[in-house]
């Protein structure tokens, strides 16, 4: 016996040494905890010892005892954990008995043992999961459930404690009720304080209640949750009236206008049941209220007198009853917004798809806010979104139908007792994007050494943000490229100092906070010197032609003159024109031209020179002329913009077209300093890539 003990000690020392040799602290196996399953087994859990060179085998030894582990009662049972596993279980029959439990770890014939544990089966029992047998809601705010534990795990309901959990199926978190039954009580609970007309999911779990004599020996485990069961509570009267708002439509010549009354569906927790019908009533001042719409829709269009004020009220009905009333007062004419006082509203982007609105107002009882927003420019038939909030607040996040790159108008209305008391408005972008396109570039005038360029104002919906600046890049053939940064208010620029008859490639980049967009390349040829010579030639020909024409006209004119004088002479018998005494018969039928006639021709020719041959300015050097009604004056006005665009198109048609040069790289690299035109006010000109903007200017 002593020898056997010695041998065991030596073996343990060897195992400990082998563990130490692996660089770890020497360890003994340790049982973490044991769980007993009714009528099945006791399973124990432990942590694995550090790896050694050879695999370690874990064996769990369980022996039924008589009394509190005073003496072995049955034969020891054991289980060997599969490799790498940290638990195993031994079947047992009587969970009310005590068990002696020990874990051994063995490696290459060396064994180490854990301390012995003495556990009563029921002290570590994990009951099977209960079953919900009946679940019923015969009220709107309570439901009842009944459950049981399978088999004979507990004799009485009171031997276990229970947890009941329930949640609205639309939500994540559970509400919990702890339950212990009285002696001879029932596994039945009435759960109250729940919402009407809500689908609840319910589950229960159980834990064995340890008798006093065993407390401290362990802690039983909670069973698994029962399978979930569902119950829908009964409907109740809607808790509030629908949020009501209005939109004004077309006003007619008959003194009436369309008023669209809109309301929001109640939230499920407010509707408390399925809404069967909405009832809208209207009341003119001094008259009794009359029904206007009974509908399941969410709006109702009425044609009402513009000069009259109305009070509208709406209720929602479900199977349980009618909601409280919401009212809205609409003042005569659509001056409602203007009549109320205004307050400042600040809008900032909350995310790329939402706005945070902030304002500051005193607190009022019975206050209601309506938020209204929509895309700008407002288009006919496009939806206006609105949102309702009851109670005092000084901020609101608006997140419905907000897209980056669009300008939104944002309005806040304050309602007290259904009356718009104050309002505030602002506008903004939730996120600016690069413009959808760059404005089209047109040459508006071309000279020998200068080119005037013009571009349109981008329509609001294509801007993507607030236009900060334009960059005009141009490159004359054989020259370096140049860039000009122009203020967003500028829409015209004259490139100077070009060579005659040279091709210049130009493009425009437009920038917002959200990015920039580059337009296509426009190529323009400046006028050549030849052009001027040809004109002089044409001018010379014209002068010659006019001289000829003038003299012919003068001769013809004289002929006519003589005819008239003939008639005079025939009547008066005396010629007062010529001053010469000619035979009467010859006066009208003789030679047409005499000395005096030639004299008259002398008089006539200068006349022609001065009346028909006035010098004209036709070489186009009048200097840059502003096209009438600059496009800059067009923002907002659709008609103005359209005519400006038409004008620009006409200019473009008239301009000489050249194929764009596709090989031209973007205007980015550092270029030479720009030779600046005479300074004036308006534009900054910098060489591309220059970090420091040069102050320069240009008269536009
Ligand atoms: C012990 O019983 C439980 C419950 O039935 C079972 O899940 C587990 O597999 C059993 N363990 C062993 C080792 O038989
Ligand atoms: C609902 O059921 C409970 C329990 O069965 C009962 O006490 C109660 O009277 C019932 N209520 C209604 C409104 O039927
Ligand atoms: C139920 O018991 C749990 C655990 O003991 C406790 O944390 C919880 O607060 C109890 N819930 C109620 C509603 O008493
Ligand atoms: C409650 O919700 C569950 C899960 O979504 C569904 O299976 C069940 O049919 C619903 N019950 C009722 C009464 O609506
Ligand atoms: C042009 O506007 C954009 C966007 O605001 C900005 O990033 C850029 O610096 C501006 N360019 C100049 C030269 O001011």
- C-alpha dist (Å) from residue 1 to 76, 109, 116, 176: 21, 19, 21, 60
Asked if pLDDT for residue 197 goes beyond 50, the answer is yes
Query: DSSP readout, 503-549?
Result: EEEEEEEEEETTEEEE---EEEEPPPHHHHHHHHHHHHHHHHHHHHH
For residues 466-482, give the mean pLDDT: 92
SS3 471: strand
Nearest CA to ligand 1 atom 13: 89
Tokens of 10: 């030596």
Percent helix, strand, coil in the chain, to 5, is 20, 35, 45
Query: DSSP readout, 13-65?
Result: HHHHHHHHHTTS------EEEEEEETTTEEEEEEPPPPP-SS--EEEEEEEEE
d(CA 472, CA 492): 10
The pLDDT confidence band at residue 670, using thresholds 50, 70 and 90, is very low
* CB contact at 8 A, 514 and 434: yes
Q: State which H helix or E strand residue 101 sits in.
A: strand 98-107
Looking at the CA of residue 163, tell me the nearest atom of ligand 3. 1
Which residue among 138, 189, 194 is best mutated to probe the pocket of ligand 2, counting the most ligand atoms within 8 A of its Cβ? 138
Asked if pLDDT for residue 590 goes beyond 60, the answer is no
For residues 212-236, give the mean pLDDT: 88
Task: Using the mean position of ligand 4's atoms as its centre, give its distance from the Cα of residue 198 in Å.
Answer: 10
Q: State which H helix or E strand residue 5 sits in.
A: helix 2-21
What is the DSSP-derived secondary structure letter of residue 159? G
Looking at the CA of residue 176, tell me the nearest atom of ligand 3. 13
Pocket lined around ligand 1, Cβ cut-off 6 Å: 37, 40-41, 43, 88-89
pLDDT for 358: 96
pLDDT digits (tens, 9 = 90+) for 33-69: 999 998 789 999 998 888 777 888 999 999 999 888 8
* CB contact at 8 A, 93 and 174: no
Residue 178 Cβ contacting ligand 3 at under 6 Å: yes
What is the DSSP-derived secondary structure letter of residue 626? P
* CB contact at 8 A, 323 and 317: yes
Residue 144 Cβ contacting ligand 2 at under 6 Å: yes
The pLDDT confidence band at residue 248, using thresholds 50, 70 and 90, is confident
Residue 176 Cβ contacting ligand 3 at under 6 Å: yes
DSSP H helix total and E strand total for the chain? 8, 42
More confident site: 607 or 620: 607
What's the chain's average pLDDT?
79
SS3 151: coil
pLDDT for 540: 67
Looking at the CA of residue 199, tell me the nearest atom of ligand 4. 1
Tokens of 62: 């369980």
d(CA 606, CA 550): 9
For residues 531-540, give the mean pLDDT: 60
Identify each DSSP E strand in 169-228 by its residue range.
Answer: 175-180, 188-192, 199-208
Ligand having the closest approach to the CA of 88: 1
* CB contact at 8 A, 145 and 177: no
d(CA 294, CA 25): 82
For residues 108-137, give the mean pLDDT: 91
Least confident of 142-146, 199-203, 573-577: 573-577
Asked if pLDDT for residue 550 goes beyond 60, the answer is yes
pLDDT for 54: 81
Q: Tell which residue, 42, 69, 53, 62, has the closest CA to residue 104.
A: 62
CB-facing half-sphere around the CA of 488: CA atoms within 13 A: 14
Nearest CA to ligand 3 atom 6: 178
Task: Using the mean position of ligand 1's atoms as its centre, give its distance from the Cα of residue 235 in Å.
Answer: 45
Nearest CA to ligand 5 atom 1: 469
For residues 407-432, give the mean pLDDT: 93
For residues 449-469, give the mean pLDDT: 94
d(CA 280, CA 297): 11
Residue 467 Cβ contacting ligand 5 at under 6 Å: no
CB-count exposure of residue 577 (10 Å: 0-12, 13-18, 19+) = middle
Mention every residue, 6+ apart, whose C-beta is less than 8 A from residue 552. Answer: none
pLDDT for 24: 46
Cα 166 from chain centroid?
37
Residue 511 Cβ contacting ligand 5 at under 6 Å: yes
SS3 286: coil
d(CA 341, CA 420): 9
Task: Using the mean position of ligand 2's atoms as its centre, give its distance from the Cα of residue 234 in Å.
Answer: 12
pLDDT for 381: 77
- C-alpha dist (Å) from residue 597 to 368, 521, 561, 562, 594: 101, 67, 10, 9, 5
Asked if pLDDT for residue 698 goes beyond 50, the answer is no
Residues β-bridged to residue 247: 260
pLDDT digits (tens, 9 = 90+) for 332-353: 875 544 566 889 999 999 999 9
Tokens of 477: 């053939």
Ligand having the closest approach to the CA of 198: 4
More confident site: 373 or 22: 373
Q: Which residue has the tokens 């997140």?
A: 399
Task: Using the mean position of ligand 4's atoms as its centre, give its distance from the Cα of residue 163 in Å.
Answer: 22
* Other C-beta atoms lying within 10 Å of the C-beta of residue 257: 17
Least confident of 19-28, 263-272, 685-694: 685-694
Task: Using the mean position of ligand 3's atoms as its centre, give its distance from the Cα of residue 508 in Å.
Answer: 70
Which stretches within 187-236 are classed as H helix? Answer: none
Nearest CA to ligand 1 atom 9: 89
Residues β-bridged to residue 262: 245, 299
pLDDT for 332: 84
d(CA 147, CA 166): 14
Which residue among 176, 180, 191 is best mutated to probe the pocket of ligand 3, counting the most ligand atoms within 8 A of its Cβ? 176
CB-facing half-sphere around the CA of 582: CA atoms within 13 A: 21
Residue 139 Cβ contacting ligand 2 at under 6 Å: yes
d(CA 446, CA 620): 10
Mention every residue, 6+ apart, whose C-beta is less than 8 A from residue 393. Answer: 369
d(CA 279, CA 291): 7
Percent of the chain whose pLDDT exceeds 90 = 50
Dihedral sign from CA coordinates of 279, 283, 289, 293? negative
Tokens of 634: 């067009």
Asked if pLDDT for residue 305 goes beyond 70, the answer is yes
For residues 460-464, give the mean pLDDT: 93
Residue 56 Cβ contacting ligand 5 at under 6 Å: no
Which stretches within 436-507 are classed as H helix? Answer: 460-463
Asked if pLDDT for residue 543 goes beyond 80, the answer is no
pLDDT for 191: 95
Task: Using the mean position of ligand 4's atoms as its centre, give its distance from the Cα of residue 199 in Å.
Answer: 6
* CB contact at 8 A, 557 and 604: yes
Asked if pLDDT for residue 553 goes beyond 50, the answer is yes
Distance spanning both ends of the chain, measured CA to CA: 116
Asked if pLDDT for residue 613 goes beyond 80, the answer is no
More confident site: 383 or 542: 383
Give φ, ψ of 368 to 5 degrees: -140, 140
Residue 513 Cβ contacting ligand 5 at under 6 Å: yes
Give φ, ψ of 497 to 5 degrees: 70, 30
Residue 409 Cβ contacting ligand 2 at under 6 Å: no
Task: Using the mean position of ligand 1's atoms as its centre, give its distance from the Cα of residue 88 in Å.
Answer: 9
Percent of the chain whose pLDDT exceeds 70 = 72
pLDDT digits (tens, 9 = 90+) for 642-658: 665 566 566 555 554 44
For residues 323-336, give the mean pLDDT: 82
Looking at the CA of residue 138, tell me the nearest atom of ligand 2. 1
pLDDT digits (tens, 9 = 90+) for 64-117: 998 888 888 888 999 999 988 999 999 998 888 999 999 999 988 888 999 998
Q: What angle do CA 162, 164, 165 make, to 5 degrees?
A: 145
């Amino acid at each position: 016996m002593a020898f056997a003990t010695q041998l065991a000690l030596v073996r343990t020392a060897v195992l400990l040494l082998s563990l130490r040799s692996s660089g770890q602290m020497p360890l003994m196996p340790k049982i973490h905890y044991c769980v007993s399953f009714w009528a099945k087994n006791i399973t124990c859990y432990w942590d694995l010892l550090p790896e050694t060179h050879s695999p370690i085998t874990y064996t769990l030894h369980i022996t039924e005892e008589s009394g509190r582990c005073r003496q072995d009662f049955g034969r020891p049972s054991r289980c060997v954990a599969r490799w790498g596993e940290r638990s195993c279980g031994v079947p047992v029959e009587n969970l009310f008995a005590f068990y002696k439990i020990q874990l051994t770890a063995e490696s290459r014939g060396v064994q180490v043992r854990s301390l012995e544990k003495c556990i009563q089966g029921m002290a570590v029992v994990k009951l099977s999961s209960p079953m919900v047998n009946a679940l019923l809601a015969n009220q709107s705010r309570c439901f009842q459930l009944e459950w049981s534990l399978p088999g004979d795990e507990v004799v009485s309901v009171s031997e276990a404690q229970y947890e009941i959990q329930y949640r609205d199926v639309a939500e994540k978190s559970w509400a919990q009720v702890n339950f212990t039954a009285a002696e001879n009580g029932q596994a039945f609970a009435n759960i109250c304080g729940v919402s009407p007309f809500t689908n609840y999911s319910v589950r229960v779990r159980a834990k064995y209640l340890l008798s006093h004599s065993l407390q401290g020996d362990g802690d039983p485990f909670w069973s698994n949750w029962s399978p979930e069961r569902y119950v829908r509570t009964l409907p109740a009267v809607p808790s509030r009236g629908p949020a009501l708002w209005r939109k004004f439509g077309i006003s007619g010549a008959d003194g009436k206008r369309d008023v669209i009354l809109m309301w929001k569906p109640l939230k499920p927790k407010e509707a408390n049941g399925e809404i069967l019908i909405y009832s809208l009533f209207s009341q003119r001042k001094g008259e009794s209220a009359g029904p206007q719409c009974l509908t399941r829709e969410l709006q109702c269009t009425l044609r009402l007198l513009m000069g009259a004020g109305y009070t509208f009220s709406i209720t929602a009905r479900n199977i349980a009853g009618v909601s409280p009333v919401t009212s809205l007062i609409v003042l005569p004419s659509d001056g409602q917004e203007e009549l109320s006082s205004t307050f400042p509203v600040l809008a900032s982007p909350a995310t790329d798809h939402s706005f945070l609105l902030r304002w500051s107002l005193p607190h009022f009882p019975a206050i209601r806010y309506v938020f209204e927003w929509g895309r700008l420019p407002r288009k006919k038939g496009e939806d206006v979104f609105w949102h309702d909030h009851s109670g005092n607040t000084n901020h609101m996040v608006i997140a419905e139908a907000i897209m980056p790159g669009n300008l939104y108008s944002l309005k806040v209305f304050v309602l007290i007792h259904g009356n718009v008391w104050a309002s505030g408005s602002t506008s903004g972008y939730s996120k600016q994007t690069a413009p959808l396109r760059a404005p089209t570039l047109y040459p508006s005038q071309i000279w020998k050494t200068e080119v005037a360029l013009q571009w349109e104002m981008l329509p609001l919906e294509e801007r993507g943000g607030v236009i900060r600046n334009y960059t005009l890049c141009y490159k004359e053939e054989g020259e370096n490229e140049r860039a000009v940064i122009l203020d967003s208010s500028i829409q015209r620029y004259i490139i100077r100092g070009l060579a005659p008859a040279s091709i210049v490639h130009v493009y425009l980049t437009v920038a917002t906070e959200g990015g920039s967009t580059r337009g296509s390349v426009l190529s323009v040829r400046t006028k050549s010197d030849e052009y001027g010579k040809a004109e002089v030639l044409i001018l010379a020909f014209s002068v010659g032609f006019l001289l000829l024409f003038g003299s012919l006209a003068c001769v013809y004119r004289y002929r006519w003159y003589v005819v008239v004088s003939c008639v005079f002479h025939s009547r008066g018998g005396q010629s007062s024109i010529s001053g010469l005494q000619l035979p009467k018969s010859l006066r009208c039928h003789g030679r047409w031209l005499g000395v005096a006639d030639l004299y008259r021709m002398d008089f006539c020719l200068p006349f022609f020179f001065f009346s028909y041959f006035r010098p004209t300015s036709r070489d186009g050097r009048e200097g840059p002329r502003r096209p009438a009604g600059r496009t800059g004056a067009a923002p907002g006005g659709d008609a103005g913009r359209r005519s400006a665009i038409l004008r620009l198109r006409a200019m473009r048609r008239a301009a000489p077209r050249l194929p764009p040069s596709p090989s031209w790289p973007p205007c980015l690299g550092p270029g030479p300093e720009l030779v600046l035109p005479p300074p004036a006010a308006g534009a900054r000109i910098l060489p591309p890539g220059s970090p420091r903007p040069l102050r320069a200017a240009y008269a536009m």
